[in-house]
């Protein structure tokens, strides 16, 4: 099955995050056969926020029903229902309702279809957003197709802003996969273009590079390079640098079978007067 269009650069995006420098977190996760309970507390800019998330799967004779409920410390609630393994093979239905999460309250319905050579989705969303410039109604269609080692696809989105202004956008992309690497390029509205490369060496070292070109004159192009090295089963080290001058490192380890931790540091190489930003993360799994 080809990657979805929104996941063209997921391998690099996953590599470039997880440094814990934007916020320090403590996470507790408890799993059983059909359900997961996860809670996270995060400290950012002196304030503490968090969420509690429950995931539960129900297997029936003709379909599978998944339920995700997320409650935030700020009073927000997000509920997502998923219907999969339907009589029509490859089709998945998703329904999502969120209130008080972010700046918008939204209701959305998504239809997905996936097989060995295609990955398509159609998304309808209605939002009540008070923030200027944000979309209140939108229709999004995305599709990717795979032929041998090539993956190609695109996305079309039609939306309505709060001031009854219509907005249309389209994107297209092409990727090529080898045994241990993924090469991709995609563009939005024939303006912004992103190209990237991700390679895994001997299942221990993951390297990635991504270049984003922006047509807008007030936005500089951005190059990001990162790598993660797995020292052993319990320890890993990662780093990244981007052209805006941000250099970051993180070290992750397992203290015990059910306890892991990460410490990260972020440096601004363009301004030596700025103090290093240090963060940490603790992860408890039961």
Summarize pLDDT for 131-176 with one digit per residue, the tens. Answer: 665 667 789 999 999 999 999 999 999 887 665 677 888 999 999 9
Average pLDDT of every residue of the chain: 90
DSSP assignment string, the chain: -PPPGGGTTHHHHHHT-----S-EEEEEEEE-SSEEEEEEEEEETTEEEEEEEEEEEEE-SS-EEEEEEEEETTS-EEEEEEEES-SSTTEEEEEEEEESSTTEEEEEEEEEEE-SSEEEEEEEEEEEE-STT-EEEEEEEEEEEEETTEEEEEEEEEEEETTS-EEEEEEEEEEEE-SSEEEEEEEETTTEEEEEEEEEETTTEEEEEEEEE--STTS--EEEEEEEEE-SSSEEEEEEEETTSEEEEEEEEEEETTEEEEEEEEEETT-TTSPPEEEEEEEEE-
User: Taking the model in full, what pTM does it have?
Assistant: 0.86
What pLDDT is recorded for position 89? 92
How large is the average pLDDT for residues 188-211? 92
Say if residue 211's pLDDT is above 80.
yes
What pLDDT, on the 0 to 100 scale, is given for residue 134?
64
Q: With 70 as the cut, is the pLDDT of residue 97 above it?
A: yes
Taking only the tens place, the pLDDT of each residue in 51-61 is: 999 999 999 88
């Amino acid at each position: 099955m080809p990657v979805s269009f929104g996941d063209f650069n997921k391998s690099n995006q996953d590599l470039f995050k997880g440094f814990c420098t934007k916020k320090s977190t403590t996470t507790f996760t408890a799993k059983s056969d059909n359900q997961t309970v996860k809670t996270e507390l995060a400290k950012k800019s002196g304030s503490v926020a968090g969420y509690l998330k429950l995931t539960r799967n129900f297997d029936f004779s003709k379909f599978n029903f998944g339920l995700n409920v997320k409650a935030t410390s700020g009073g927000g609630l997000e509920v997502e229902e998923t219907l999969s393994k339907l009589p029509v093979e490859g089709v998945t239905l998703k329904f999502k309702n969120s209130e008080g999460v972010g700046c918008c309250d939204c209701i959305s319905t998504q239809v997905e279809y996936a097989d060995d050579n295609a990955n398509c989705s159609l998304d309808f969303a209605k939002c009540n957003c008070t923030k200027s410039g944000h979309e209140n109604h939108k229709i999004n269609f995305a599709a990717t197709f795979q032929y041998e080692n090539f993956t190609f696809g695109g996305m079309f989105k039609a939306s309505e802003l709060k001031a009854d202004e219509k907005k249309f956008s389209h994107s297209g992309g092409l990727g090529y996969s080898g045994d241990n690497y993924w090469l991709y390029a995609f563009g939005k509205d024939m303006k912004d273009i992103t190209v990237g490369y991700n390679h895994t060496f001997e299942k221990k070292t993951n390297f990635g590079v991504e270049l984003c070109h922006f047509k807008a004159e007030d936005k500089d192009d951005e190059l990001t390079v990162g790598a993660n090295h797995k020292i052993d089963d319990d320890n890993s080290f990662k780093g990244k640098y981007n052209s805006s001058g941000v250099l970051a490192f993180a070290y992750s380890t397992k203290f015990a079978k059910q306890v892991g931790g990460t410490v990260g540091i972020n440096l601004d190489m363009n301004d030596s007067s700025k103090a290093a930003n240090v963060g940490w993360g603790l992860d408890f799994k039961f």
